[in-house]
Every structure is written in structure tokens, then in C-alpha cells.
Amino acid sequence: MARLLAVAAGVLLASSAWAGAQSPVLVGRVTEVTDGDTIHVALASGPIIVRLHSIDTPERSQPWGRQATAALARRLRQGTEVTLRPITQDEYDRLGAVVYLGDENVNAWMVQQGHAWAYRRYLDDAQYCAWEQQARASGLGVWSLPPSKR
């Protein structure tokens, strides 16, 4: 935990036009996509593990888990530059963050495409629930599976 805080403290705070306010941001490059909601990022100050905040995806061994992982890996190929808006740190010392690819909120994209659902336990933006409902209604991603497989 102290290492992650030191890494974050060592990174310059920047203004974020896409977030609509001044907020701390970290910029780095994706080194690995672990699963549909976890990535490894190399910052100038060192590597970190990032948990995409406000979303959850099936584990790789569960139905749609491999597809969710593959979708995120296609979106965030190794070496892709991302901007992180830190929210929290979880019990596994992962940085909980909103991940941006340019101006696009990747966390939201995963939900909109049906690869993830709103993680209500850690939700800070109700819009994720609306995006989930749209994906459900459209039968996208995990929502294309029979209810017994979700």
C-alpha cells in the first residue's frame, strides 16, 4: 500500500478537460490485461496494477469471462497509453481507477458493450446502471447468454 501511495504521490497532478475539473491523473502504458477488469500499467515512477472502478466482469473461468478479457485486451493493447483517474485502493493493493483511452472512459465502454456490469458495491456514478440496462435490453455481450449462464 505504501508503495502505491508513493508512486501516486510522485506523479504530477494535471488538469483534465475530459473530466470537467481539476483532478489527479496518472499517465502510463498498458503492459498486461489480466482479466476483464484488471490491467497492469507502467508509470514513469514504476508499475502498478489497476482495477477498473465501478465495474465487474465474469472471471476468466466463468461464462463470458474469456470474451470480456479479450475485449479489454483488444481495446488496450500492450503499449497503449492510458490516463487513470484514481478513485481508491482495494484490499489487494490495486489502484481502483477510471481508465481513459484518449477521451473515452474504458470502464463505461466495457459496460456499454455488455462485457461488464455496474459494480453496485463500489459505484460512484449511476450512469453505469443505465448503460448496463441498455446493454441488457440489446442482448449485448454477457446479456446474450441464457439467464442460467450469467
Q: Which residues are part of the catalytic machinery? A: 51, 59, 94
Sequence letter at residue 90: D
> How many CB atoms sit inside 10 A of residue 21's CB?
7
> How many CB atoms sit inside 10 A of residue 13's CB?
12
Are 49 and 95 spatial neighbours (Cβ–Cβ below 8 Å)?
yes
Nearest CA to 102 among 24, 5, 4, 19?
Answer: 19
Between CA 10 and CA 95, with CA 87 as vertex, the angle to 5 degrees is 60
